[in-house]
Structure 1
């Protein structure tokens, strides 16, 4: 399951309008980066390192032990063709990733499509959540990590890292200046990988943190 990308999109939808926060261009890039991090956490991709035949930092596909999911499969197929720089991968995935995420969430009954009155052209829909349990858990984990310094689960750490890099936390939070100073400092720590030392980790978490460090540069 594309846990990171799906949780991120549900968090962006969790508002009165039931439409995703962040303007389209940033949203498409952040969701594309999230799908790459889902693949990294599954150990299906990783950045190349010095000494390999591939240029260091490029994302390379690994031998997947099982099938991917409908959301992350296009990204995995893209990197199977050849290794790509994170910025290139994000750019190539940006056009269609949101559609894959929305389609999967709708098919699995987690959101529903509601046409907006008077809108005939373009994507003019609201996407109310059918159940708030999942987004509630995701939001609680995010708030605990940012404000209580609770060690974040991997998906939460990835979401914070991506939104921090894209200056997108404002789509989820409304704070005064003091609150933002706290959040930016804490999110910066998490984005730099501090969560790996706070959370019980194994190879998937380490690979996620290393890949996040490479991918978030593409969002700046």
Structure 2
């Protein structure tokens, strides 16, 4: 269920240090945004629209759908209590979302937790990857969408949108100036929602794109 958040964290861990490639505050906000987008793709939340009983733009919970997991469930419960502006939702979900994503990936056997000595890092743990199949597929999909202009999957589009909004693509890519100009242009296209027109889409993809626009604005 939390594919976007899990894939994003795995991509950020895919380095020699086995530690997330972004500083904690920015990473937590990105993971909170990814959890919200997982809920949007499942059609469990959306931004309020004109005519709704709440202020336009606030994120509202939607009834029905598949059962939620330990990552997305608490975020959904938060929004069932009160519709929130995206920026407020990101602030409330940040730290707990990372902890839940880590725990879920550990349960799946994707990563393992290694305690670091205090001298090595302000953060206590590294998380070596135990299985590279999933992160390899996520990275290949991201590179193909950015450089080959392949229509991105919903998860890839969401990850590109989040990282581009938070100026975080540099955590995954090392490019020259020409390469960065290309990537920023393509990432801007995807972030604008153009991927919906590039792919065969249905209501979940449209709702994801609409919600991603609201979350993206809160990250800028």
TM-score by length of 1: 0.97
Aligned to 1:182: 182
User: Matches of 2:117 and 2:156 in 1, distance apart?
Assistant: 35
Per the alignment, in what secondary structure is the counterpart of residue 46 of structure 1?
strand
User: Matches of 1:108 and 1:119 in 2, distance apart?
Assistant: 30
Aligned to 2:111: 111
Aligned to 1:210: 210
Aligned to 1:19: 19
Task: For residue 126 of structure 1, report the CA deviation from its aligned partner.
Answer: 1.4
- Consecutive unaligned residues of structure 1, counting only runs of 5 or more, are none
Task: For residue 29 of structure 1, report the CA deviation from its aligned partner.
Answer: 0.3
Contact 2:8 2:159 in 1 (8 A): yes
The number of equivalent residue pairs is: 220
Aligned to 2:149: 149
Q: Per-residue CA shift, 1:117-167, capped at 9, x if unaligned?
A: 455996422111110000000000000000000000000000000000000
Aligned to 2:193: 193
User: Matches of 1:207 and 1:197 in 2, distance apart?
Assistant: 13
User: Matches of 1:14 and 1:3 in 2, distance apart?
Assistant: 16
Aligned to 1:2: 2
Aligned to 2:66: 66
Poorly superposed stretches of 4+, deviation over 3 Å: 117-123
Aligned to 2:78: 78
Task: For residue 184 of structure 1, report the CA deviation from its aligned partner.
Answer: 0.3
TM-score by length of 2: 0.97
- Consecutive unaligned residues of structure 2, counting only runs of 5 or more, are none
Task: For residue 18 of structure 1, report the CA deviation from its aligned partner.
Answer: 0.4
